[in-house]
Amino acid sequence: MNTVDVPALSVVLPTDAVRTVATVLECLACQPEAASIEVVLVVPAGTEVHGASGAASRFAGITVVEVPALSPLGSARAAGVRAAKNPLVFLGETHSYPQAGWMSALRDAATAGPWDAVACGMVNANPETRISWAGFLADYGRWSATLPAGFIDEAPLYNAVYRRDALLALGTDLDGVLSHGDGLKLALRARGHRAYLAPAMRLAHVNIDRLSTAFRERLLAGILIGAQRAGSWPMWRRLLYAAAAPLIALVLCRRMLPGFRSAFRAGGVPRGTLPLACGLQGMKACGEFLGYLGCGRAGHQAEMDDLEIHRIAHCVRRTS
């Protein structure tokens, strides 16, 4: 394949160890276009990374970025973006696996029109339980691989490809907007940037399938989003948004409905998943309520980041 036809891509992966992202690296290396991919491993200072050397020859290169700590993950991701060498960056996770044809679908998306972010077509990597499906659809129903390709309102905060220059243009704000909430969406929209959904660019995402942990994760996500949004707000605005928490739950449920319907029609989604997914969205709204009232703690960020990095360890049905 002519290298002109292959987008030069940097994959940013914050991780505590090479073994934690071994499956992600293997999925990337299996892409026929792997030679056009730079892998950017963001690790805590002093982390042993020799385990990645075996895969290095299959990529354009592996760049290691050391940070004082992985938490907050937004800062770790921003460090990876700044160190990346290619014009496109994919913000990956330890538990999201590119599927066959992933890179070729990105190449096709590159010709779809002017965009600054591409959302992958998300699929459930551990579809055995209703809890997993509920979490998957609550988080990624809007970007399900069963939806049609086209321009969309926003890409997910991570598990998406971004134009690196659009991210770098945010300057010192980048660390914050890569953490939680809709800050990145609002910042890019204010600059006239567009997002595109490429359902053929399939990405398998592992979802927590333990009920108590799934509800705890949603609560933490809401607290962190609420706290980030309300950080500089006057008290009257904090109270107004806290009072609107029930409406936030309705908005979150409504957003996931098109993806839920599409995935359900495609098959595999167990009956009874929708009420559970709505319950998870309600828990997230409760978290936002607490965040708006100033109930966020430093430990919440560290706990959430641990759930992100070590998600597979929090699954009843382990998947590699």
Contact residues for 250 (Cβ-Cβ < 8 A; gap 6+) = none
Contacts of 68 (CB under 8 A, 6+ apart): 44, 45
Which stretch of 50-54, 57-61, 134-138, 187-191 has the lowest confidence by average pLDDT?
A: 50-54
CB count within 10 Å of CB 111 equals: 7
Q: Which of 205, 238, 259 marks a domain boundary?
A: 205
Average pLDDT, the chain: 91
Could you tell me what percent of the chain has a pLDDT over 70? 95
Question: Is the pLDDT reported for residue 56 higher than 80?
Answer: no
Assign 75 a pLDDT band (cuts: 50, 70, 90).
Answer: very high
Q: Which domain holds residue 101?
A: 3-205
232 with 112, same domain: the answer is no
Indicate if 189 and 297 belong to the same structural domain.
Answer: no
**pLDDT at residue 292 is higher than 90:** yes
Regarding whether 218 and 199 lie in a shared domain, the answer is: no
Assess contact for 30 and 100: CB atoms under 8 A.
Answer: yes
User: Does position 4 have pLDDT exceeding 60, yes or no?
Assistant: no
The reply to whether 241 falls in a domain is: yes
One domain, residues 162 and 265: no
Considering the domain architecture, whether residues 216 and 197 belong to the same structural domain is answered as no
| Residue 96 reports pLDDT greater than 70 | yes
- Does 132 share its domain with 67? yes
53 plus 94 within the same structural domain: yes
Which token pair is 51?
A: 């385990």
| Residues 240 and 158 reside in one and the same domain | no
Confidence of residue 142 (pLDDT cuts 50, 70, 90): very high
The reported pLDDT for the residue numbered 91 is 97
Do 88 and 70 have their domain in common?
A: yes
Asked, for residue 295, whether it belongs to a domain, the answer is yes
Instruction: Please give the pLDDT value at position 6.
Output: 60
Of the three residues 205, 236, 255, the one that is the final residue of a domain is 205
Total residues found in the chain within this entry: 320
- Split at pLDDT 50, 70, 90, the class of 305 is very high
Number of independent structural domains in the chain: 2
